[in-house]
Amino acid sequence: MINGLSGYDSAHDEATVPKGYLGEPCLIRTMNVGLCTHGPHIHGNHVFALSDVHAAGGGVICNTNVLELDTWMLPPLGRKDVLLPFEKPNEIPAKAWPPKEEPFPLLYPMHCHVEMSQTASGGQYPQGMVTHWEMLGVKRGVAV
């Protein structure tokens, strides 16, 4: 679940959808209050892992070697703060940026890479931990 919602409800809840413009990063705090491990994954941009809290240790660990992650591990009762950079998505060629035919906002999915999260509710996909993020556009005067 994301903020107490799952499936369609979490994917369409404005409180769970990071939105921003190119170059305006967003801090995302992910917490796992359950007893199984999750693997959040965001399409379009990788995230940067800033800090961790493990249930066993209890203290905040600020990462001094900030790693770029495609998917991150979120163990039971763990917390990880990640930064979504709102960069040009790598799959868009430089010559096609900013997009001229595809209108903003660009929407990219977020989901869990753990099977049981995605096949909740009797095996119906997508259920469980799903949402998306939106790049609203490029602000005037910002170098692309």
pLDDT tens digits for the chain (144 residues)?
Answer: 788 888 888 888 888 899 999 999 999 999 998 888 999 999 999 999 999 997 777 789 999 999 999 999 999 989 999 999 999 999 999 999 999 888 999 999 998 888 777 666 555 566 778 899 999 999 876 666
The predicted pLDDT at position 144 comes to 65
The predicted pLDDT at position 122 comes to 57
pTM of the model: 0.87
**Prior bond to 89 cis, omega within 30?**
no
CA distance 40 to 113: 6
The predicted pLDDT at position 124 comes to 58
Homologous superfamily of 7-88+97-137 in CATH? Cupredoxins -  blue copper proteins (2.60.40.420)
Residue keyed to tokens 């995230």? 47
Cβ proximity of 122 and 7 under 8 Å: no
Domain boundaries defined on the chain: 7-88+97-137
The predicted pLDDT at position 115 comes to 75
The predicted pLDDT at position 7 comes to 80
Question: Quick one: 80 exposed, middle or buried, by C-beta within 10 A (0-12, 13-18, 19+)?
Answer: buried
Cβ proximity of 57 and 119 under 8 Å: no
The predicted pLDDT at position 29 comes to 94
